[in-house]
């Protein structure tokens, strides 16, 4: 399978020294697949842009101003080529070993998502406030949509192309992951959840603004349909 791996970044200079090695490990984790990495620099104001430009073989798209992680994901999905696109956070909150199960799950789905809140998933070392927000938001989306999905807020996913394009446009902020999943369910796309363990990022800091994100999730929950088709669980 031909895969584009989308790496959204905003002021992630601290991650760049390890990025070439990460790209190698991503390719090693997906044997038998043709992997093309694609970085989306969302208007960084530190040394991220210059650092990305120095990495050989890495295609980079740059937003001139910071538009939000959802906008960076959308830009990557629209530029992606091949059979499928993977969105992966280069902070490695999820290990690269999770990528192969994501791709395998596409054999029976149009979208596959990592799921720390799945009964077989887990969370280690994540701050209590951020964990409470994410877990609560997922529970509210689950109830609002009448869905069997456990995690709506994880952005690390695999999307079949061109089906992913039908999910756009999406919110530019941190609610984009929930929106894209809800949109996929409303269109009747098959969705697979892959249990995973979420850990604290290895470097840098989260750019999420808690109160702003809470308000955005509440607005999105208000505007969503009440029901959605039944989820197709991964094997």
- pTM score, whole prediction: 0.89
| φ, ψ (nearest 5 deg) of residue 42 | -90, 60
Q: Is the distance from CB of 138 to CB of 231 less than 8 angstroms?
A: no
Kindly tell me if the per-residue pLDDT of 231 is higher than 70. Answer: no
Q: Is the distance from CB of 184 to CB of 224 less than 8 angstroms?
A: no
Measured between its terminal Cα atoms, the distance across the chain in Å is: 19
Distances (CA, A) of 20 to 16, 54, 172, 217: 8, 10, 27, 34
Q: Would 94 be classed as within a structural domain?
A: yes
Of residues 13 and 212, more confidence is placed in 13
State how many domains the chain has. Answer: 1
The reported pLDDT for the residue numbered 202 is 65
Q: Would 232 be classed as within a structural domain?
A: no
pLDDT digits over 44-100, tens only?
A: 999 999 999 999 989 999 999 999 999 999 999 999 999 999 999 999 999 999 999
The reported pLDDT for the residue numbered 57 is 87
Q: Would 235 be classed as within a structural domain?
A: no
pLDDT digits over 158-212, tens only?
A: 999 999 999 999 999 989 999 999 999 999 999 999 999 999 866 555 555 666 7
Kindly tell me if the per-residue pLDDT of 153 is higher than 60. Answer: yes
CATH number of the domain within which 66 lies: 3.90.550.10
Q: Please give the residue range of the domain that contains residue 69.
A: 2-223
The label of the residue with tokens 């697949």 reads 33
Q: Would 228 be classed as within a structural domain?
A: no
Mean pLDDT (whole number) for 23-47: 97
pLDDT digits over 92-144, tens only?
A: 999 999 999 999 999 999 999 999 999 999 999 887 877 888 899 999 999 99
């Amino acid at each position: 399978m031909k895969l584009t791996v989308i790496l959204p970044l905003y002021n992630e200079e601290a991650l760049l020294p390890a990025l070439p090695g990460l790209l190698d490990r991503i390719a090693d984790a997906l044997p038998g697949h043709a992997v093309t990495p694609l970085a989306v620099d969302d208007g960084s104001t530190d040394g991220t842009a210059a650092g990305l430009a120095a990495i050989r073989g890495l295609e980079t798209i740059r937003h001139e101003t910071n538009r939000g992680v959802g906008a960076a994901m959308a830009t990557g999905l629209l530029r992606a080529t091949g059979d499928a696109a993977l969105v992966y956070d280069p902070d490695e909150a999820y290990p690269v070993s999770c990528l192969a199960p994501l791709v395998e799950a596409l054999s029976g789905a149009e979208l596959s998502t990592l799921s720390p809140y799945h009964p077989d998933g887990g969370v280690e070392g994540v701050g209590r406030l951020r964990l409470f927000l994410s877990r609560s938001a997922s529970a509210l989306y689950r109830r609002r949509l009448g869905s069997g999905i456990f995690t709506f807020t994880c952005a690390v996913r695999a999307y079949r192309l061109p089906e992913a394009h039908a999910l756009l446009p999406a919110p530019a902020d941190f609610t984009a992951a929930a929106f894209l999943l809800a949109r996929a369910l409303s269109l009747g796309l098959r969705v697979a959840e892959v249990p995973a363990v979420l850990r604290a990022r290895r470097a840098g800091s989260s750019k999420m603004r808690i109160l702003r994100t809470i308000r955005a999730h509440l607005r999105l929950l208000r505007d969503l349909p009440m029901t959605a088709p039944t989820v197709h669980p991964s094997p």
